[in-house]
Structures are given as structure tokens and as C-alpha cells.
Amino acid sequence: MAPPSPVQHDGYHGLQSPTSSLPSNDLPKDIPWRDLPNPMGTANWFSTFVMFWIEPMMRRGAKQTLMEEDVWKLCPEHTSAVLHSRFDGFWQHEKLQPHPSFAKAMMRTMRSQWYFNVALYALYAALMLLQPNIIKSLLQFLQAKSNDDQVPVHTSLGISSGYALAALLTVHSFLSVTIIDFGQYVSSNLGVNAKSIVMDSVYLKSLKLSGFAKRNMSSGEIVTLSSVDSERLFQGFLLGPWVLVAPVTVLAIFIMIGFDLGAVSGVVGGVVMAALLYTGYTTSTAVGAVRREILTVQSERVKLTNEMLQGVRVVKLYAWESPLEARIASIRDEELALLKKYQYVRVLNTVTLSIAPILSLVLCLAVYVAQGHKLTPSLAFTALAYMNVARLPCTVFSSSIMFASEAWASCTRVGTFLLADEIAQLEHRPQW
């Protein structure tokens, strides 16, 4: 059998290649990027912890603009089918209870990941409580070296080497930042999974609603459940751990301040901080209540507007334009008044929790000096470091309370919808 002739082209002879004689269907093809296995599902614990698994996509994004085809498909455990099968078992069990709770079924679905996430935030808080002591030891070392180089250095951590203290502070900062970043990644993962469960459950339930149930709700309300309420659950899982971690962290901070500046200074600062946190809690609860009122008014306005547009012929026939316009305008005025109230309360909440660490620090130092003690640089900077640690819990505490309350309200609305009357499913196919 004669060897195949070179591939002929217009004006020149192509070179013979190993694949030129193969049929076009047998040529090797590259697997599309989107069809490659998601590295998140096969990454080891270290790659997951430092998020190295996403590095191939970052390299690809550095070379070209990322498009939808450049994103891997979801891992099997994060798909809607798997999440729904996990949630549906808990929800079917919850429906047998006297008072079914969608929130309980959701938390049982995410229980192990939720506990792990709270543990990460608690570990981060514990590491941040160690940071002021490292700074205090470093200042004690510098102060002792500046006074007399021959005197042995004694620090609160028992480390007499400046290099060791600097290295410890560096490793501590890297580890604490990495842990909180990984904790936020886990929180986002939980929130997205919860959002997917809500959207999937609402969609499947909408296909089975009976005619009686459809009379009591509109399509806009169903869309609100799958969009707004699912987003509320995402935000609730995103900041939910701070509801538990923030108060405990602040309490531990003032206990440690009491050891450094005295019990009186710690109690005074703690009482002031507790009062401001309680104010932040009440204002954040008020913000959540106002936002729920805004959602109710907005849904009423949208519902009335849709009904008017759908029945515009009847409106024109009976000349109802002016009454309907006045009604929509009054609802809009009520909505604007609620929006103004919401902004006032939100700003009050933000300002209160922003000044809480500063005011507590000033009072702690003032009480310490008023007792006749000498304020040294190491004590001053240590107290300042404690207040810097308290800044993040104070900042996110109000938002976490607000988002948690809104997520709870959204769970109540979604649960009520999922318990609505539905069409009975056929157990056997009809025989024709």
C-alpha cells in the first residue's frame, strides 16, 4: 500500500504530518475549560485553606477577560439537586411537627458546616485577643533595651528575644488574616447554598400550588420569595456567626483590660461598651423592623401598579385614573417616609457603634489615671490594641443582628409559602 500523499493546498505542497492522514473525527481535541473537573472538589485541606485551588482561574484571568465559559461547573455536592435532596428530608420531617419551621430544617441541613464556621470565627477572635499581649511584650522589650542593655529582659509572654517577638507577631498576623478569610469563604458558601435551596424550593412549590392557594398570592409575591428572601438568607449566613462571637469577644477584651489596668477600669469600660452595644442592638432591631415595613409597602405598591396595568382597559372605561393615581401616590409617600426613617435609624446605629471603642478606651484610661497610677507606653498601646480588636466586632454586630432578624423573617415567609395547599400528586399513571 502506497503511503498517503502530502496534503495539497493552493499554490504549495503541505508537509506530511502524523495526523494529516487521519480522518477529521479522529483528531485529538482539547477539553473545554468549563468541562474540566472543578479543582475545589479535589483540593487538599491546605489548598482549600489558603484558596490555592482557584489559582488556575486567576492565571487565566490575567491573560484574558474571564467569560461565563471560563468558570468551572459546580461541585456535585453544591448542585441544586444534591442540596434539595438533603433539605427535603429534614423538611418532610419538619412538616410532621405541630408547628413546622423552615428555619429549623435549613439549619439542620447546614448544621455541620455552620458549627465549623462558628469555630473558625471563634478561633480568629481568640488569636486577635493574643495580639495585644504580643505588642505589649514587644514594647516591654524595647523599653528595657533602651534603659539598660545589661539588664535581662522580662516580658509578659516570657520571651526575651526581640527577633522571636517580631517573628511571632508576623506569623500571628498572617494566620489570623488567613483564618478570617477562610471563615468568610465558608460563610459565603453557606449563604449561596441556602439561597439555592430557597430558590429551588419556591420554584418546585409554585408548580404544585392549588387553585385555592393561588387566589391568596400573586406572581410578584412568589418572585419576591425567590429573589429578595433568598438574598436575605444569604446575608444572614454571611454575618450570622458574629451574632455569637462578637459579644463574647468584647466581654473577653474588657476582662483582659481589667487585668492590665485594674478591675475598676475594666468594669467602667465594659459597662459603657455594653450600654452602647445594647443601643446598637435596639437600633439594629428597629432598622430591621422598618425594612420589613418598607418591603410590605413596596409589595403593595407593585401589586396595585401591576393590577392597574393589567386592567388598564377597565380603568379607562370607568375613568378610574385619578383615584388610582392618588392611591399609588399615597402609598409612595408612605414608602418615602419609611425610607427616611430607615436612614435616620441606620445612621444612628452606625455612629453609636463606631464611637463605642473610642469612648470605652478614653474612659478606661481616664479612670486608670484618676486612681493615681502612672500610664506607661506599654499599657497605653496595649489598651489601644485591645480597642482596635474590638472595632471589628462592634462594627459588624449591628449588621449581623439586622441580617439575622431579616433572615428569620424570610424563613417564616418561605415556610408559610411551602406549607400552602398544593395539588395532590398521582401515585399511578392512568391507563388509557
pTM exceeds 0.85, yes or no: no
C-alpha cell at 42: 479535589
Asked if residue 258 has pLDDT above 90, the reply is: no
CATH of the domain at 376: 1.20.1560.10
Cβ atoms of 137 and 165 within 8 Å: the answer is yes
Q: What is the sign of the dihedral through the CA atoms of 360, 184, 191 and 85?
A: negative
C-alpha cell at 300: 403593595
Examine residue 165 and state whether it is found in any structural domain, yes or no: yes
d(CA 24, CA 7): 13
C-alpha cell at 135: 505588642
Asked if residue 191 has pLDDT above 90, the reply is: yes
Binned at pLDDT 50, 70 and 90, residue 184 comes out as: very high
Instruction: Give 3-state DSSP helix, strand, coil % of the chain, rounded to 5.
Output: 75, 0, 20
Q: Which residues contact 236 (CB under 8 A, 6 or more apart)?
A: 191, 194, 403, 404, 406, 407, 408, 410
* φ/ψ of residue 86, rounded to 5: -70, -45
Q: From 146, 131, 139, select the one nearest 377 (Cα to Cα).
A: 139
Position with higher pLDDT, 136 vs 431 = 136
Examine residue 425 and state whether it is found in any structural domain, yes or no: no
Asked if residue 24 has pLDDT above 50, the reply is: no
Examine residue 107 and state whether it is found in any structural domain, yes or no: yes
Position with higher pLDDT, 221 vs 168 = 168
How many helices, marked H, and strands, marked E, lie in the chain?
A: 15, 2
C-alpha cell at 363: 474612659
Asked if residue 159 has pLDDT above 50, the reply is: yes
d(CA 139, CA 169): 12
Examine residue 407 and state whether it is found in any structural domain, yes or no: yes
Binned at pLDDT 50, 70 and 90, residue 32 comes out as: confident
Residue with cell 407593585: 302
Domain range for residue 365?
94-418
**pLDDT tens digit string along 260-314?**
888 888 888 888 888 888 888 888 888 878 887 887 888 788 878 888 888 888 8
**DSSP per-residue letters across 230-272:** HHHHHHHHHHTHHHHHHHHHHHHHHHHHHHHH-HHHHHHHHHH
- End-to-end Cα separation, the chain, in angstroms: 63
Examine residue 69 and state whether it is found in any structural domain, yes or no: no
**DSSP per-residue letters across 160-217:** --HHHHHHHHHHHHHHHHHHHHHHHHHHHHHHHHHHHHHHHHHHHHHTTB-HHHHHT-
Examine residue 370 and state whether it is found in any structural domain, yes or no: yes
Examine residue 199 and state whether it is found in any structural domain, yes or no: yes
Q: What is the sign of the dihedral through the CA atoms of 254, 258, 259 and 260?
A: positive
d(CA 370, CA 216): 66
Asked if residue 20 has pLDDT above 50, the reply is: no
Residue 209, beta-bridge partner list: 422
Examine residue 216 and state whether it is found in any structural domain, yes or no: yes
Q: E strand or H helix at 402, and its extent? A: helix 377-418
Q: Which residues contact 305 (CB under 8 A, 6 or more apart)?
A: 328
pLDDT of residue 155: 76
Domain count, the chain: 1
**pLDDT tens digit string along 276-286?**
888 888 888 88
Choose the most confident range, by mean pLDDT, from 97-111, 272-286, 387-401: 97-111
